[in-house]
Amino acid sequence: MKKIVLFSCLILTTLSLQAQKAFPPTNFEDVTPPPAPDYSNPDYWAALPEKEDMADLNPGKLKHGQDDAKVDVFFVHPTIYAGYKKGQDQWNADVNDAELNKEVDETTIKNQASAFNLAGRVYAPRYRQAHIHAYYTKNQEAGKKALAFAYQDVKAAFEYYLENYNEGRPFILASHSQGTTHTGRLMLELVDGKPIQEQLVAAYIVGIPIPKDSLKYIPQCETPQQTNCYCSWRTWQKGYYPANYDPKIDKNIAVTNPLTWRTDDGYASKELNKGSVLRNFKKIRKKLVDAQIHEGILWANRPKILGARFFGKNYHIGDINLYYINIRENAVERVKAYFSDRR
């Protein structure tokens, strides 16, 4: 039975009892890796402009703009391979697992990738995502190998996209959680300071801490219209910090306020929130939650919704959904600015 989560957007990528029911073997080498995806086959893409998929969906009466879009969106989904179902006990997921693919589509593609479908044509690869345990295992070497293994698929997908789909078009990079682990590395290796950087409208790399000095040539976005830059944040209930929070380190983490699209610590009230998308994807909840940058993380007051007190203090699961409409509109705004700057 499909797991029901408060914001219905992804499996929570924090320590949980469910994520610990099925651990991979101790050593990465003890596992035979699943076969690599073939990105020339549309089946290995969770979203493509030429096929109907969950990234085409929209809440309320909104419509996607992919048919006439002048830019592309390359979206990398978060961890859905969490070990709470039978068979999820390997270091990396099998992209031929139909049940897992269905869950990816009905959670993160529907609830996160769709936020960008007004700004551009959405491309979202399936990849051999690392097990959630890769982030928490005591065998850090094995965890790193599992994540590196997953990254090689994301890199291959992006390179295939550039060679076969892009045709010189500007693009947006978007990701959450494990997707951001891979997209941050992708930007460093293939975009930062490279000729292709000129095509980057903006990157929305959310849910994983991004050090301010991690990229040499691509700056953090500091205004709503800035292009060729990146936005990032991690959301926590106001007054709380990650378990491993270190102010000496975290003060160097890049944080963007998704209500103002600025990097100062000014408070943004929920009046600025144009709409959140929760478990009922079709309904847009306006003015639900606020936002304020605080020492390397984004703070938000607990939303006044049924069941919010069971959500905990970590709002990671809602990083995108809590600010869905603001993200959607800002992506369009940056696309307009990108073309305006190049007239």
pTM of the model: 0.92
Three-state secondary structure call for residue 297: strand
Pick 24 or 250 by higher pLDDT. 250
- Cα-Cα-Cα-Cα torsion 333, 75, 147, 232, nearest 10 degrees, comes to 10
Task: State percent of the chain over pLDDT 90.
Answer: 80
Residues 6+ away with beta carbon under 8 Å from 223 = 261, 262
pLDDT at 339 over 50: yes
C-alpha–C-alpha distance, residues 327 and 333, integer Å: 10
| DSSP line for 217-260 | SSPBP-STT--S-EE---EEETT---TT--HHHHTTB----TTT
Is 79 strand, coil or helix? coil
Please tell me the predicted confidence (pLDDT) of residue 277.
96
Instruction: Give the span between the Cα atoms of 78 and 9, in whole angstroms.
Output: 10
Report the pLDDT averaged over residues 181-193.
98
Secondary structure letter of residue 125 according to DSSP: E
Q: Where are the alpha helices (DSSP H) in 54-164?
A: 98-104, 110-111, 140-161
